[in-house]
Amino acid sequence: MELSLALPVLPGKRTAFEELARTVAGPRRKEFDDSERKFKIRKECWFLQSTPQGDLCIFYAEADDVPKSVMEWAASKDPIDVWVKAQFKEITGIDFSNLPPGVFPTELLRYGY
């Protein structure tokens, strides 16, 4: 199963988002890897998309049940998970520890073999 989310990058937070990605891919990589394995995430990608309305974080993940994995991560108290959630709250305004209704998108089209 796959999941894609488009999250706002709040004004002035682009650099913070880029730094978060560098930190997770660099000095905190092992902690991040351990977290991904714990929640059975097989693949996760973060993209930065600039639009006339502002920047977006495009999040993509693959797992057997991505919404379940995200919900379990949202409830996690592990230090790396708490830290990443705090960073995303500051960057996007979304509190993943208290997910708002409708955070998961509705799939409208799927093509592929």
Which structural domains are found in the chain, ordered by start? 2-95 (3.30.70.1090)
pLDDT in the model for residue 107: 87
Three-point CA angle 20, 105, 57, nearest 5°: 20
Does the pLDDT value for residue 22 go beyond 80?
yes
- Rounded CA-CA distance 19/57 in Å is 13
pLDDT of residue 112: 86
Task: Provide the 3-class DSSP secondary structure of residue 7.
Answer: strand
Contact residues for 17 (Cβ-Cβ < 8 A; gap 6+): 9, 48, 55, 57, 91
Model-level pTM?
0.90
pLDDT exceeds cutoff 90 at 89: yes
